[in-house]
Structures are given as C-alpha cells and as structure tokens.
Structure 1
Amino acid sequence: MKCYVQNLAMLSAVIAFGCQSNKTEIHPEEVKTPAVSAKGTSDAQTTAAKETQTIDGLVKETNHGKDGYTAKIETNDGKIFYATVSRANLKDAKQYRDFNANEIVKLTGEVWRLEGKDQLTVREIN
C-alpha cells in the first residue's frame, strides 16, 4: 500500500510539472480585438452594448432549459426575438410564468445580438 501511495505522489508531481512547463504567456499587445461595424455588431458574434427595449408580439415556440426558457417572439413588424425568461433575470420573480404558443405578450428587457439573432433578456413581463 505504501508503494502505491508513493507511486501516486510521484505521478501527481510529474503531471503538475508537465502542466507548468506548457504554459504560455499572452501579452496584451498580441491580443486581437474584434472589429466593430457601423451597426454595432462585432465579429465576435455578440455586442457588448445592451439597450433596454419593450417588445410585443406573438409567441411562436418555447424551449425550456434548466433555469427558465427561451421564447421565440414574432413582433407585428415581422422581427424575430429570442426572449430569455427566468426568475433570476426578472425584476420581480413573481411575474414569472410560462408562455403558450400563439399567445400575445409584451416584454421589457435588454436587447442584444448573438450569432446574427436578436436576443432579449426579459426583466419585466407586462
């Protein structure tokens, strides 16, 4: 048993030393930042600036996750938003409820883009 513990300790030391020797330093001047277009979208797939907006539209579908769900909302002008609804993101957790397909909803939250799709982090269900 003592030999097993010694071998395990030696193996751990070798792995730790190997991981230390493979580290590379990244210098700030070498880090490339994504280019931002005139519309505010970036090559990194998301935008940093989030704008508060209220949308109303028809629920097309919902996809439930661990902490809430994402609802695909089509507005009156035909825009599609993917609204993330969770108790943790709402200003008042008591507002939380599930949406049904073909239900008309009014939501307020931060709008942002991910992979070319409009996202809404819901803060209020109106």
Structure 2
Amino acid sequence: MKKETCGIFIHQIHNVIEKRMNNQLRKQGLTFSQINVLATLASTSEKKLSFKELEKQLALAQSTTAGLISRLEQKRMVSIYGDKDDKRIKYVEITDLGMKCCENAEQDMEETEKELVSCLSEAERKAFFSLLKDVKDTVTKF
C-alpha cells in the first residue's frame, strides 16, 4: 500500500513541471535546470554569484552546479572568472545572451505556473505560495 506524503506530491509536481519546461526549452537548446541557473543569476543585482552562493541558492551539489555552469559557459550564456584577491573564489556571471534566453523562457514559465495553480482561488494561491516558501526556507536550513 503506497502512502501519500507531501514529499511524493512535491516530487510528482516537480517532475511534471520539469518535463513540460524541458519540452518548451528544447527549442532554445536549454534545460529546466539550466534556465533555473540563469534565472537565479538574473535575479541578483550584479547578475553574478560565487559558485558557492549559487550552489546554496539552487540547493544542488557542487558537482551538479559545476556541470550546469560548464554547459552554460559552452553556450556562452555565462562567463566564469576568479576573484582578484582570493584565487580560490570563482564567480559565474550571466551574459547578455543568457539574459535574452532567460527573458524568452520567462513567459513559458509564467504560463506553466498559471496552469499549475488554476484550480485555486486568488486567496488560496497566496496561501499556497506562502506555505511553499516556508517549507523551502525550512528545508534549506538542513
């Protein structure tokens, strides 16, 4: 007997969203994970983060983050450079091409999210978002 849990529901929702977004992003030669990196960088004031900070914000392993960054660098969507004072620190910065791709994907992402919560009232959407944020904030402390 399979027990329904929050974790299972979240995983199933994530899989559906990721599949749909990957299908839509394929025309740009990107994946959902890659656009997530670009969107995270685009949302910062300086359009850049250290590798460590990006790993933390994405809640991904160092090796996974490095692979995503490497593929985006090959596509000229990001640039990588070291800190001038501390050579151990590497930064990743979104390029103009990366920004353009991120903007193009934004409409698809908004449409997907709109459909995701279409069964909820406006008040329920706000409460749902707030609750999801609380859970995300909790799990990122682990």
TM over 0.5: no
Indicate the structure with greater strand content: 1
Q: Which has the larger radius of gyration?
A: 1
* TM-score normalised per structure 2: 0.25
Could you say which structure has the greater relative contact order, defined with CA pairs below 8 angstroms and 6 or more residues apart? 1
